[in-house]
Each structure stands twice: as structure tokens, then as C-alpha cells.
Amino acid sequence: MSTTTTTTINPKTASNLSFILNKPHDVAFVDRPKPTLQNEHDVLVAVNYTGICGSDVHYWQHGAIGHYVVKDPMVLGHESAGTVVEAGSAVTELKVGDRIALEPGYPCRHCEACLGGHYNLCPDMRFAATPPYDGTLTGFWTAPADFCYKLPDNVTLQEGALVEPLAVAVHIVRQAVVTPGQSVVVMGAGPVGLLCAAVAKAFGATTVVSVDIVESKLNFAKSFCSTHTYISQRVSAEENAANIRKLAGLGSGADVVIDASGAEPSIQTCLHTVRTGGTYVQGGMGRDNITFPIMALCLKEVTAKGSFRYGSGDYKLAVELIASGKVEVKKLISEVVAFKDAEDAFKKVKQGEVIKILIGGPNEKI
């Protein structure tokens, strides 16, 4: 196999320092062996920036998410952008020096889900920082070239690290089939909820309501993209829903409701906020089982859908939404820290002090 290697970051000499979780609250910086191309369709990427996701923080705190349990030391991180430093001989779309957003999950490409157009649901998915697979808070990363998305000149590498959560939002809003003029209510104003609201607006929704339990998050949502905000009260789901409908002039209900919180009261409010014949999409992930208002679903003939990660075209559209200025992801970046400060950055996310914090790669000067 022939490959080419020339760039400012030299993979032969640069560090492959990795931020590793040994067990809950026990992290370490370890210089791991550099990855190599596995076949001629791969590229080797120097990781420039990685955002911290709630799931990274959950693994750091608890060592597990559901049945995904960290049994061996695992590199954290999966929201990354980087620079191609080596390209396999069969790679035609990318070249050394290209800046890319890194899709961090690699499906088998052969199973029923993959061949049926739902590769995100592949049972053999190898997803970064989901045990047993290592993540991207490391110096270098090998990926199939078709899971790397070239960033246009007007998109920075820092914005490129936000493509991952934006792709999650694109998938959720696509599941909802939002059309121009519609009303959309999004429960949760964390990064995913904020980006769902922004994507819904970019798709043509004219009323976009953000709901949360934290006032500062709603203040940001209002400045970011939402037409209305509502702070959830300690009242019944029906009462919160009635308040949201009144506040945003939704009449009998919203065309689309999205849960991006994973919280039981919020999910219940969704079903009472959606209009007859409307659509509800579950994007948030919380407890396995909750009390769910099934009669509201039946009596209003609500279309209910789930949404998991991202699939065909979602990353591509996410990059286009940033490049066209329709979703200003840079506004979500609260802080950019050096690799050595990764653990402190995790603490800040846990304390809720930031919207999105980026960690520079180990070879990045911050």
C-alpha cells in the first residue's frame, strides 16, 4: 500500500498523548502508540480540537452508561475536528493538509441496518469513547476517509468540533420532518436542545420555543435562536403544556415537540404540548423506563419517533449549515483549553459552568 505523508504536524515526531479514563474519577495522560492506516481507504488525522459531551462526563463520573461499562482504560472524547496527515492510496476526496470534521462511529457496512440505510443503528458499531472503543482525546486518529468531512475555508477547526452535536440535532429535526412555517417546541436548552432549536429555525420553523429548568440557559437560547422561552414550573405536565401553548400562541398545540432533556417531566409535557396529528421526537436519553402519557399519544394520533446519533447525510448537512451561517455554532463555545487541562475542563462541564468547552489536541498550542 502506498501512502503520502507531509504536513506541519509530523506524525513521526509529534505526541500521541491520550486522555484516558482508568475508572470513575481516575484519569491519566498516557503516550500511546500512534495508530496506523488499517487499509488504503483510511486517513490518519492529527486531532486539533475535541468538545466534551455529557456522555464523556458520565463515563468519567460513573464508568458506565447503561450496559456500556468501562472495564479497561479508555480514551475519552468523540466530538473532534482535525487535519489529515496521511492518506491511504485509494483515498481520492481528501489530501494531506485538509481540515476535517471527524464522524466518530464506524458501522460494519454489511448488516441489515447498514444496508437498509440506517447505519447509525448498526449492532456492530465501533463508536469512539463507547466501551470497549477508545475515543479521540488523543494526538492521532485513523478513520475511513468517507467518515471525514472536509471543512470549507470559512469554517474553523473549532467550529468543526461542533459538527458532531450539530449532526445529532440535524438527525433529530429530520426525524421530525420540520417544514416552513411550523411551530417547534424543544425541551432542554443544553447543547443538543439549542442546536435542535437552531436547526428547526434553519428548516423554516417560524415559532421555536425552548424550555428548560435553568433560567441562564433560556437567556442564552433567546439570544441564540429561540423565538420564545419557558421556564418549566413545579406543576403538572398538563399545566406546563398549557402555559407553553399560551405563551407562544400555539392554539391547540405545537406542530412538533422534541425532547432534548431525557427528563421524565419534560417528556410528559411534550405529549401534552403537541397538537392533534403533530409529531414528537425523543432525542434525550435518560432513565430506561418512565411514566408516559400514552392516552395523549393515542387520542391525538401523535406521530412518535426516536432518534439516535446521526446517519446518511447528517454530517454533510451539519457542515453546510455552519458554512452558510444558518447555525452559528461558534456562539456555543464557552472556552478552549489546553490538553493538559482536560480534567479541569470535565469538572467545569459537570458543574454546568459552560455550554461547550473545547480541548486542544496534545500538539495544539493554546
Ligand X SMILES: NC(=O)c1ccc[n+]([C@@H]2O[C@H](COP(=O)([O-])OP(=O)(O)OC[C@H]3O[C@@H](n4cnc5c(N)ncnc54)[C@H](O)[C@@H]3O)[C@@H](O)[C@H]2O)c1
Ligand Y SMILES: OC[C@H](O)C(O)[C@@H](O)CO
Residues in the site for ligand X, rule: CB under 6 A?
54, 168, 187-193, 211-214, 217, 232, 260-263, 265-266, 283-286, 307-309
Residue with smallest beta-carbon separation from ligand X: 190
Nearer to ligand X, 134 or 164 (CB): 164
Nearer to ligand X, 11 or 104 (CB): 104
For strand 17-23 and strand 26-31, is the pairing parallel, antiparallel, or unpaired? antiparallel
Neighbouring-strand partners of residue 81: 49, 101
Chain residues in the site for ligand Y (CB under 6 A): 53, 55, 127, 130, 164, 168, 309
Nearest alpha-carbon partner for 165 in 314, 360, 286? 314
CB of 310 to ligand Y, least distance (A): 8
Which of ligand X, ligand Y, none has residue 265 at its interface (CB below 5 to 8 Å by kind)?
ligand X
C-alpha cell at 171: 438527525
Largest CA distance in the chain: 65
Nearer to ligand X, 75 or 218 (CB): 218
Which of ligand Y, ligand X, none has residue 86 at its interface (CB below 5 to 8 Å by kind)?
none
CB of 262 to ligand X, least distance (A): 3
Which of ligand X, ligand Y, none has residue 283 at its interface (CB below 5 to 8 Å by kind)?
ligand X
For strand 356-360 and strand 333-337, is the pairing parallel, antiparallel, or unpaired? parallel
Strands (E), 113-253: 126-127, 140-144, 148-150, 183-187, 207-212, 228-231
CB of 83 to ligand Y, least distance (A): 22
Please measure the distance between the N-terminal and C-terminal CA atoms of the chain and give it in whole angstroms.
36
C-alpha cell at 338: 489546553
CB of 98 to ligand Y, least distance (A): 23
CB of 268 to ligand Y, least distance (A): 23
* Kind and range of the H or E run holding 157: helix 157-161
